[in-house]
Amino acid sequence: MKNIKERVAYLKGLSDGLGITHETKEGRLLIAIIDVLDDIAESIEILEENQNELDEYVDAIDQDLADVEDEIYEDYDEDDEEDYDEDFEDYDDFDDNGFVEVECPNCHEKVYLDKEMFEDEDEDGEIVCPNCDKPIYFVEHCNCEDDDCDCYKE
């Protein structure tokens, strides 16, 4: 099948060959339709060119992203992930990316906390809300039901 631009050019040639002119109502209508088709064909051609450029650009971005992923994850070791996950078994709310969703008690906005925030033993359990800049306190509790146990931090 020929492209649209060529088909519209064929219609223009056909109308010229048939002697269709602006002198009749039907002639004006057909010539106007062919002109609109020509404009549409031009727009489609431009869209196709832009789409091809966009495809090439997305492919380049995809390749760059693959290079960045290779650079970041080149030293990744699955054993490290298992050790890391064992340290945070008590935090069941962590998603696959290592974040837990918490509502700030001050501004009531949702805040996503990283596993690394819970790693530091030196911290007093205070995290600053990025929305309102006020502290968010958290308490790590144990899973046992004994109220007198010493396995939780305050």
Closest to 113 in 3D by CA, of 135, 80, 81: 135
Query: Rounded distance, CA 21 to CA 10, Å?
Result: 16
Which has the higher per-residue pLDDT, 40 or 78?
A: 40
Amino acid (one-letter) located at 132:
C
76 token code pair = 């990744």
122 — phi, psi (to 5°)?
-75, -20
3's tokens: 């492209």
Task: For residue range 55-81, list pLDDT tens digits in order.
Answer: 999 999 999 999 999 888 876 655 555
Per-residue pLDDT, 65: 94
pLDDT band for position 49 (cuts 50, 70, 90) = very high
Are 52 and 44 in contact by the 8 Å Cβ rule? The answer is no
Q: Give the three-state DSSP class for 98.
A: coil
The partner residues of 102 in beta bridges, in order of sequence, read: 111
Of the pLDDT bands very low, low, confident and very high (cuts 50, 70, 90), residue 146 is: low
Q: Coil, helix or strand for 3?
A: coil
Q: Is the distance from CB of 20 to CB of 28 less than 8 angstroms? A: no
Half-sphere exposure of 11 (CA within 13 A, CB side): 17
Element (H, E) at 47: helix 25-72
pLDDT tens, residue by residue, 75-134: 665 555 555 445 444 444 555 667 777 788 888 888 777 767 666 544 556 778 888 888
